[in-house]
Amino acid sequence: MTHTQKRIIANNIVMVLSTTSALIGMGFLFWILSVLIINGVDALSFSIFTNEGAPPGYENSGLKHALIGQFMIVGVATIVGVPFGILAGTYLSEYGQKSKLAETIRDVSDIMMSAPSIVIGAFVYSIVVAPMGHFSGWAGSVALTIIMLPIILRTTDDMLQLVPSTLREAAFALGAPKYKVIMQVVYRGAKVGVLTGILLGIARVAGETAPLLFTSFNDNFLNTDMGEPMASLTVTMYNYATSPYEDWQKLGWAAAFILSMFILSLNIIGRLLIMKRKEK
């Protein structure tokens, strides 16, 4: 057997193994999604969006309190995390560039992105919840902001660096100050990539449960006071799914379906934006 024939055989073996592994992974993914869709759609009803939580056995039970709490906690985290992440990414790309401080920030953000969310939840518990003496929606938003920030920071940094330097030089040659070059040239050239990073950051924190268990905890009733314990869809889903009551378990499936479809939609939008950028 020649060397070329051995390489062809090795290549075919690796291709078969890789394809088989991919198909197995996709099979498990579709299995999980099918079970989620079947159970979630079966438990879904309009009353879920209009009724608050109720004790087991009551028909008028829903997820209104959890949906509103999730929206508020994630919304505050987004309002704080997005501008800070974009500004920090702008500093790294346009001002810090290859400086030691910029490289240190990049390394720290990479470490933060890989840190377990439960560790961040415990950290926020020690610096926010413990001093306050009680759980709160604000603490939950702080934890989600810390998780979201490095994702948006690194995405913004990478996307801004992809903007050709010739565009910056052309704007400088016309007499434009640096802040106008960044606002009107660099941001416009990287807006699709930055928006994709924002959507992926929101999708990441929207599905977090562990940090909210340490921070916002939960509430079985509607509460819009961010200074008090607040319900969230993820924690409510966890509590209902692990309960021994059948009606609560159905609500847990409905919560899982709603949350999964929301996160899936954000990821699809992000992928479409990436494809749109590549086409350009």
> Over 70: is that where the pLDDT of 147 sits?
yes
Residue 219 has pLDDT above 90, yes or no: no
pLDDT band, very low/low/confident/very high, at 280 (cuts 50, 70, 90)? low
pLDDT digits (tens, 9 = 90+) for 82-118: 999 999 999 999 998 889 999 999 999 999 998 999 9
- Model pLDDT for residues 43-53, shown as the tens digit of each residue: 888 989 999 88
Q: pLDDT for 174-204, tens place per residue? A: 888 999 999 999 998 898 889 888 988 999 9
Does the reported pTM lie above 0.85? yes
Mean pLDDT, the chain, integer: 91
Checking if the pLDDT of 279 tops 80, the result is: no
Helix, strand, coil share (%) of the chain residues, nearest 5? 80, 0, 20
Token readout for 203 is 């999708």
Query: Which pLDDT score is estimated for 59?
Result: 78
Q: Reply yes or no on whether the pLDDT at 172 is more than 70.
A: yes
Mean pLDDT, residues 264-275 taken together: 81
**What is the average per-residue pLDDT within 143-150?**
95
Contacts 24+ apart (CB under 8 A), 111-114: 112/146, 112/147, 112/149, 112/150, 113/150, 113/151, 113/154
Q: Is the pLDDT of residue 72 over 80?
A: yes
- 165 token code pair: 């330097």
HSE-up (13 A, CA, CB side) for residue 207 = 17
Is 90 exceeded by the pLDDT of residue 63? yes
CA distance 195 to 75: 16
Element (H, E) at 145: helix 137-161
The 10s digit of each residue's pLDDT in 86-96 is: 999 999 999 98
CA distance 262 to 203: 8
